[in-house]
Structure 1
Amino acid sequence: MRVTHAERDRAVELLQQAFADGRLTSLEMEERIAGALAARSRGDLAPLTADLGGAEPEKVVELKGTGGRITRTGAWRVPRALRVESDYGGVVLDLSHAVIEHPVIDIELSLEYGSALLTVPSDADVDVDGVVCQWGRVVCRAPKRRQPGGPRIRLTGKLGYGRLKVRFR
């Protein structure tokens, strides 16, 4: 199976942490990071972190809908990796009051005709460059002055005819 950007990034984070813990030399870390960034399949990526321990595969939480609305608001716990699939319904993810325990959050969207509204804290750093639009569009107007220290939210995936709107609150 082909490896995703999020999986490569996670492997790089594990390698950097292993170096910081003294489990890898700087040369080993550099070689393995180069391999992780060049990896095409999970088979290429797995050997680079297999001997480090604690490198269990991360759990991706999946939210799926066909025609209804998928909504998460309030003090919900945001997972490290989230995959959202919706054929016709709308998606509302409000992270402004959510419990965010991870510095980096990966959200993969797969929307055919539905649209998504993502509300994030004002100090969030949002990357929408990984979202591919067929007929839909992405609207993300980041504040001119972002406060440091907020979570980094990486969005990837595909929009068919829908729209993704990112709102800062």
Structure 2
Amino acid sequence: MSRVSDLDRDRAVTLVQQAYAVGRLDQAELEARLERALTAVSPGDLAPVVADLPGDEPVRLETVGGRVTRTGDWQVPQRLRVESEYGSVRLDLSRAHVPYGQVDIELRLAYGRALIILPAGATANADGVRSEWGRVICRAAGSPRHGGPHVRVTGELPYGRLVIRTRR
């Protein structure tokens, strides 16, 4: 039996809190769903907590050998999944609109490389990235701070390379 990860549990709690904040849930439903989310053991326990809530699907960007580039003034989604077999990824958040306190980026790069550029005051954590022969370099502060977004990067880069840095 697979177990629920802390990341999945945190995501469910965030969705429930957002639904309450916009009036989709009342106080009693909020409390009941939070209790179920925080005590969930398996994915089957967690799924009904968020099944009817919007916003759980990530924005997906995919390429085989091309480039995925987002720069300038673009809207950063709360959850982003980027997949590339051989291509390169450049996500420049330094001038982008980041309306969330935390952004989750999942990378699936077999042989590709990724560069994530953070805005001033942002932090990042790449502890959730698994690499076999590739490299993961994070030159940004790792602990979330008040005032700037926190970018949490997860995924797999068997032979790929990831660099996270702030804007120069």
Residue in 2 that maps onto 1:45? 46
Deviates further, 142-151 or 67-76: 142-151
Q: TM-score, normalised by structure 1?
A: 0.80
User: Which structure 2 residues correspond to residues 1-169 of structure 1 after superposition, within 5 A?
Assistant: 6-16=7-17, 18=20, 23-24=27-28, 28=32, 31-36=35-40, 38=41, 40-41=42-43, 43-49=44-50, 55-143=53-141, 148-169=146-167
The residue matched to 2:28 in structure 1 has which SS? coil
Aligned length: 162
C-alpha distance in 1 between matches for 2:6 and 2:143: 27
C-alpha distance in 2 between matches for 1:26 and 1:74: 37
Change (3 A) 1:130 1:101: same
**Displacement of 1:62 after TM fit?**
0.7
The residue matched to 2:59 in structure 1 has which SS? strand
Q: What do residues 5-64 of structure 1 show as CA deviations (whole Å, max 9, x unaligned)?
A: 543222112445649x8613897466324324x3x32x32123346xx7x2242311111
Q: RMSD across aligned C-alpha pairs, in angstroms?
A: 2.9
Percent of aligned positions with the same letter in both sequences?
A: 48
The residue matched to 2:39 in structure 1 has which SS? helix
Q: TM-score, normalised by structure 2?
A: 0.81
- Partner amino acid for 1:106? D
In 1, are the aligned partners of 2:134 and 2:158 still within 8 Å (CA)?
A: yes
Tell me, which stretches of 5 or more residues in structure 1 are unaligned? none
- Partner amino acid for 1:113? Y
C-alpha distance in 2 between matches for 1:116 and 1:59: 22
C-alpha distance in 1 between matches for 2:131 and 2:159: 8
C-alpha distance in 1 between matches for 2:81 and 2:71: 16
- Partner amino acid for 1:154? R
C-alpha distance in 2 between matches for 1:45 and 1:81: 18
In 1, are the aligned partners of 2:123 and 2:145 still within 8 Å (CA)?
A: no
- Partner amino acid for 2:90? V
After TM superposition, what 4+ stretches of structure 1 lie above 4 angstroms from structure 2?
A: 2-6, 15-19, 25-30, 143-147
The residue matched to 2:124 in structure 1 has which SS? strand
Change (3 A) 1:29 1:136: same
Q: What do residues 108-141 of structure 1 show as CA deviations (whole Å, max 9, x unaligned)?
A: 0000111100001121121111101111111012
Change (3 A) 1:116 1:146: same
Change (3 A) 1:132 1:153: same
